[in-house]
Amino acid sequence: MDKFRISGGRPLKGRVSISGAKNSALPCMAAAVLTPETVILHNLPYVRDIITQRRLLEDIGATVLTPELRTHKITAAHIELFEAPYELVKTMRASVLALGPLLARFGKAKVSLPGGCAIGTRPIDLHLAGFEKLGAEVKLEAGNVVARAPRDGRLRGGEIHFEKITVTGTENLMMAATLAWGRTTLYNAAREPEITDLAELLNKMGARIRGAGTSTIQVDGVEALGGAEHTIIPDRIEAGTFIIAAAMTAGELEIKDCRPEHSAALIAKLREAGVELQELNPTTLHVGGAMKLTASDVTTQPHPDFPTDMQAQYMALMTQAQGRSQIVETVFENRFMHTSELQRMGARIHIDGSRATVDGVTRLTGAPVIASDLRASASLVLAGLVAEGETVVDRVYHIDRGYEKIEAKLRAVGADIERVRESVTAPPGATAEADAAVV
Ligand code: UD1
């Protein structure tokens, strides 16, 4: 398992280019299953989850060509398997995104359930309830969810009211509805930019979707979808992580190829906390100047509010801000796994249920720490960049799932960080276990 060795204390300076959004690329890749024609996707990030999703597509019979590193040409003309197997679902929960497209086009799909609790409390219960609303029969068989469309093999349009906002749930149902008979309306839908990006691709493929990006999405089913070409939006979480890296190290970064309008809540919060941010043009942000970081409270919420995927990194920032801040996590339970590691580096953080209280400013000191999930690992890297001495972040396979060559990008702007390669790689199950709380 690879590690990062970081020597803290260097301000970051220079330019960094943001990769494509993993969370948009994953559903867009799954969408290619909706058509026998070729879907060409550009600007895919070169991260582990994309490789896993590609493997899933190839396992079920799709052909994936890579004419360039960041371009995939996906053709799902001959699908032979209609399932996302346990082996893949346990390493990446987003594999459940195969369900909607398989069910819509072939009338059947099977997906293994990750973990071991009752179906009612599973984090895909809302996806399944939605499929049932579209006329599917959903059963649990030997740890798998097996879904079937009505006898004629085609889903029926329906009204789906999501009890709770779910990002991949909205994506799964939106994809399923594209080939259903009649109209589907999704209420209380997620509004993330990744939903809008997926809808844009689906509409290019011939789908009839309106309202993506709002909480009511209407899909008029069509008989078939065709090929399309699409460029994935930039990763707003990677952009946010680099903004915080610049702010924490009192550095100066130009963040290129991003979309500031996708990060409005984060940018507003960071400005409130004293981060100097300027929008140089619609795709470039400048961070830097005389920054005096001050504590500012935050509560995570679905988009357009402050993203849960930035909570861990924001907590690292708050250890360097003057005063006491409260960070409330409302989207996921158990998403404070980075806290104990930050405490080992000297951070003063108190957890009470879903609320973390951070007291700053703390002089962090380097320590060996263990990454527990994707965004938690990012917060440990950020802490390492300002800590005195050496920080060794273990289990960086978590960060490799979603950040493209983070150590190379950080090194290019002045960080002292290196990857220490170890010959033993993580067993596939190891990632899933530790990632159980979040996708
Ligand atoms: C997606 C993102 C993830 C991000 C999260 C919230 C992808 C691949 N992943 O995950 O990075 O952290 O959105 O912004 O896009 N829930 C249920 N039942 C369901 C579905 C969800 O109870 O059927 C709950 C979850 O446990 C969680 C909340 O709803 O508490 C939100 O989860 P959801 O939006 O579905 O997250 P993901 O789509 O899995």
Digits of tens for pLDDT over the chain (439 positions)? 899 999 999 999 999 999 999 999 999 999 999 999 999 999 999 999 999 999 999 999 999 999 999 999 999 999 999 998 888 888 888 899 999 999 999 999 999 876 533 233 448 899 999 999 999 999 988 888 999 999 999 999 999 999 999 999 999 999 999 999 999 999 999 999 999 999 999 999 999 999 999 999 999 999 999 999 999 999 999 999 999 999 999 999 999 999 999 999 999 999 999 999 999 999 999 999 888 999 999 999 999 999 999 999 999 999 999 999 999 999 988 889 899 999 999 999 999 999 999 999 999 999 999 988 899 999 999 999 999 999 999 999 999 999 999 999 999 999 999 999 986 554 444 444 334 333 4
Nearest to 395 by CA among 415, 414, 376: 376
* Cα 436 to averaged position of ligand 1 atoms, centre (Å): 12
Residue from 164, 171, 235 to probe ligand 1 pocket by mutation (most atoms less than 8 Å from CB) = 164
Nearest to 392 by CA among 366, 365, 421, 364: 366
Whether 26 lines ligand 1, by a CB cut-off of 6 Å, is: yes
Whether 53 lines ligand 1, by a CB cut-off of 6 Å, is: no
User: Is the pTM above the cut of 0.75?
Assistant: yes
Residues 6+ apart with CB under 8 A from 307: 236, 237, 240, 265, 266, 300
Q: Which atom belonging to ligand 1 lies closest to the Cα atom of 331?
A: 30
Does 117 participate in catalysis according to the annotation?
yes
Report how far residue 42's alpha carbon sits from residue 200's, in angstroms, rounded to the nearest whole number. 14
Q: Which atom belonging to ligand 1 lies closest to the Cα atom of 122?
A: 18
Q: Cβ(24)–Cβ(198) under 8 Å?
A: yes
Q: Which atom belonging to ligand 1 lies closest to the Cα atom of 125?
A: 23
CA-proximal residue: ligand 1, atom 15 (nearest): 23
Dihedral-angle region of residue 206 (phi above 0 means left; psi in -120 to 50 means alpha; beta otherwise): left
Whether 52 lines ligand 1, by a CB cut-off of 6 Å, is: no
* Cα 166 to averaged position of ligand 1 atoms, centre (Å): 5
- Residue 118's pLDDT is 28
Query: What is the separation of C-alpha 31 from the centre of its chain, rounded to a whole number of angstroms?
Result: 17
Report how far residue 366's alpha carbon sits from residue 38's, in angstroms, rounded to the nearest whole number. 49
Q: Which atom belonging to ligand 1 lies closest to the Cα atom of 168?
A: 38
Whether 125 lines ligand 1, by a CB cut-off of 6 Å, is: yes
* Cα 37 to averaged position of ligand 1 atoms, centre (Å): 30
Cβ-based neighbour number of residue 411 at 10 Å = 15
* Cα 410 to averaged position of ligand 1 atoms, centre (Å): 29
Residue from 44, 47, 168 to probe ligand 1 pocket by mutation (most atoms less than 8 Å from CB) = 168
Whether 2 lines ligand 1, by a CB cut-off of 6 Å, is: no
- Token digits for 65? 């060509």
Q: Torsion over CA of 267, 16, 22 and 114, rounded to 10 degrees?
A: -90
CA distances from 383 to 72, 241, 249, 277 (A): 35, 12, 10, 20
Q: Cβ(119)–Cβ(125) under 8 Å?
A: yes
- Residue 433's pLDDT is 37
Catalytic residue among 117, 224, 408, 420: 117
- Token digits for 68? 């360039």
- Residue 290's pLDDT is 82
Q: Cβ(184)–Cβ(210) under 8 Å?
A: no
Report how far residue 220's alpha carbon sits from residue 210's, in angstroms, rounded to the nearest whole number. 9
